[in-house]
Structure 1
């Protein structure tokens, strides 16, 4: 059998599959606030940044924790933000971070994706969610240090909404 050929079927005692219900149960156990959008995607805000917990793939077997940095940074900062993103990716295993142009500003994202084709334990799910959120927040904090005015403006806007 070649390296890229799939091994034989998983035994009947396989781990339970990834599901939206398991994601929300994990968040509930940590007393985290979240919502479910019209597409059934689970998401919420952590430290003012929007996170989603996507199930992707043919059988929704991949779990992707995706966070978006909630700051307003203009297109003139593309080179500087891209350099910070590249430095982060070069020095760390996760999360994968990237920047994209969104109309007249930059969107900066962090993602941590794992394949759970063969199921996962509740502990694995909890670690994945916690890791995805906490490492993304570490990256977002590093960006806040580089853009303190934008961070302060975003935090002031959050305070007004509360």
Structure 2
């Protein structure tokens, strides 16, 4: 990471890895070269995209896999959360086996570069707001 946390540099996987290491986060690199990690047993992926790898796409999958009996609760909680909060975007997927997985996502465009301070803030925002949604979903599922 840069010595001056407010200087702007191009986004890179190496900068993300340096941030994870500086914060003491455990992470892995998957077979596509994307970074991943676990917070509260939820799986996060940090994917760089765009012509110059300037887009940071943070995707999280809930640790829980649900049956279809929870579909209405999941839909209602997602609708409520997305209406009240700017981010993260929350959504679900239904597998071929009829199981639900619930996800959050945030995408940031760093075309003109990003400072270490901004990267730290975006990472904390993505993890914190995703965890908040999953906690609210857990409460709704248990109600």
TM-score scaled to structure 1, two decimals?
A: 0.79
What are the Cα deviations for residues 105-153 of structure 1, in whole angstroms up to 9, with x where unaligned? 111111111100011000000100110011000001111112249xxxx
Does structure 1 residue 119 correspond to structure 2 residue 113?
yes
Identify the residue that residue 3 of structure 2 maps to in structure 1: none
Paired residue total: 136
Moved over 6 A (4+): none
What are the ranges of 5 or more consecutive residues in structure 1 without an aligned counterpart? 1-13, 150-162
SS in 1 for 2:64: coil
Aligned to 1:81: 74
- Asked whether 1:93 is paired with 2:98, we answer no
* Deviating more after overlay: 58-67 vs 35-44: 58-67
Structure 2 match to 1:30: 23
Cα distance in 1 for residues equivalent to 2:75 and 2:93: 9
What RMSD in Å do the two structures reach over aligned CA positions? Answer: 1.5
Matches within 5 A, 1:8-19: 15-19=8-12
| Residue 61 (structure 1) aligned with residue 54 (structure 2) | yes
Matched position secondary structure for 1:127: helix
- 2:140 aligned with 1:143, yes or no? no
Q: Distance in 1 between matches of 2:67 and 2:50?
A: 33
1:15, distance to aligned residue in structure 2 (A) = 2.9
Cα separation, 2, equivalents of 1:76 and 1:85: 16
CA-CA distance at 1:43 after TM superposition: 0.3
Q: Which among 29, 32, 44 is matched to residue 51 of structure 1?
A: 44
